[in-house]
Amino acid sequence: MNPKRSQKELSHDDNKNVMGKEQRRVSRITGCLSITLIVRNASEGSVAAGPVPGLLNDVSIYGAGLNVSQIYIDDYHLFHSSRDNPSHILYLEAALSEEKTLSIPVRPIWFDHVFSGESKSFKMGVEFMIGSEDEQITCLNKLLALGRKERESWLNTLLVKWTDHTKKGGDLP
C-alpha cells in the first residue's frame, strides 16, 4: 500500500484487505440485483450521461459494490468525471416496480477492470451520499438480503403500503 494515498484513494484490493485484516466499517450483504447508473446535472436534475446497466453485488449502510459493462458513456468517464465535476452527480437506481424506483446519489470510491471471463467489465465501489438511516438505503439492503421469490413478495407488500401512504400525501413509509 502506498502511504501517500489517502484511505479514500485506495484500490479495491487495498481497501478490502490490508495486511490480512478486513478494513470495512460494517459488514456487507452480498447478492445480485439489477441496477442502473445515471449521471444527473446537480442544479436541474436532468440526465447528463447514461443510463448504464449494472449489477449490485454487495451493499452496506454506507456504500455498494457494483459491476458495470462500461466505464465510459461517450466522453464521460463514470469514475473520474463524477469525482472531478461537482455539477454532475452519479445516481444508483433500482426499479421496485414500473412506477417506483430507488434513486440514490453516490460517489465513486474505486474501480477496477475485471479480466476474467469473456466479457470485459468493471467493478466499482460507491459511497452513498445520503445518510445511512435513509429509507432508500434500508430498502436497498433489504432487497439484496432477500431471495428472488421473497423479494417479489416483499416488494408487492411495500408497494401497496407505499401507494396507500402517498395517496394520503406522505412520503415513503
Report the alpha-carbon distance of residue 157 to residue 14 in Å, rounded. 40
For the cut 60, the answer to whether the pLDDT of residue 59 exceeds it is yes
Q: What percent of the chain has pLDDT over 70?
A: 68
Average pLDDT, integer, range 128-141: 90
Residue 77: pLDDT band (50, 70, 90) is: confident
Instruction: Write the pLDDT tens digit of every residue in 98-124.
Output: 888 899 999 999 988 776 666 678 899
Of residues 89 and 26, which shows the higher confidence score?
Answer: 89
Residue 65 φ/ψ, nearest 5 degrees: -105, 130
Class of domain 7-167: mainly beta
What is d(CA 163, CA 97) in angstroms, rounded to the nearest whole number?
A: 12
pLDDT in tens, 6-40: 444 444 444 455 444 455 567 778 888 889 999 99
